[in-house]
Amino acid sequence: MFGESGTSATGRTYYYYKCANVKRRKGCNKKTVQKDWLEDLVVRETMKLIQDDAVIDKIVQLVMDVQNQENTTIPLLEKQLREVNKKLDNLMKAVEDGLYTRTTKERLEALEIQKDELTAKIADEKLKKPSFNEDFIRFWLMKFRKFDISQKKQRKTLIEIFVNAIFLYDDRMLITFNYKDGTQTVCFEDTLTADSAEEKSSDYLFSTLISFGL
């Protein structure tokens, strides 16, 4: 659906969403929907989502899981570094026991160089893609609870961060959020139209069916 505008007989401009196939006369019978009414509803439902502590916990855990799954290079480098440190410890014990030769010295120097290289690579990888702990992620998510949804910029940010897609029907709307199993269905009592939605909106009854897979 795409944004459209139209002017009534009184000269008032209305903004609404309209199916592209309707515009092209390809047989779609989807009704147009008043823009402000629909966007306000999506924003309110998204705010309900982030007010739920269980949902916040779920998102935090998912972010941590994704970080752990994607971060394969650093764990491998850290494993190699542990092995090098173990070899260095064994050689140092041998030196302390009096087993110091030219070969031992060369081996110590080679391991020290390898240790420095691995340490530098780990630091470089962490700079390329920093990881975040649970407290930081939770703090960041909690900030959205304080958003002023009357502000256009904050409304836009809220939708871009949390909403993946919206599927609009004449009797209901399905919102899919940007995390696994995050869906929400909002049912309308009556079919919406662009010309009557504003006058009728106060009379609509909504029932929200939430399926977060928690």
The tens-digit pLDDT sequence of the chain (214 residues) is 788 887 877 888 888 888 877 766 667 787 888 888 888 888 988 898 889 998 889 888 888 887 777 667 888 899 999 999 999 998 888 888 777 777 888 888 999 999 999 999 988 887 777 678 889 989 999 999 999 989 999 999 998 888 888 888 877 888 888 876 666 666 654 333 333 433 332 222 222 222 323 3
Please list, residue by residue across 78-111, b when 16 or more beta carbons sit within 10 angstroms of its beta carbon and e when fewer do: eebbeebeebbeebeeeeeeeeeeeeeeeebeeb
CA–CA dist 77, 132 (Å, integer): 19
- CA 190 centroid distance within chain: 32
- E strand map for the chain: 2-7, 13-18, 33-34, 163-168, 172-177, 183-187, 207-211
Q: What is the pTM of this model?
A: 0.57
Strand partners, 212: none
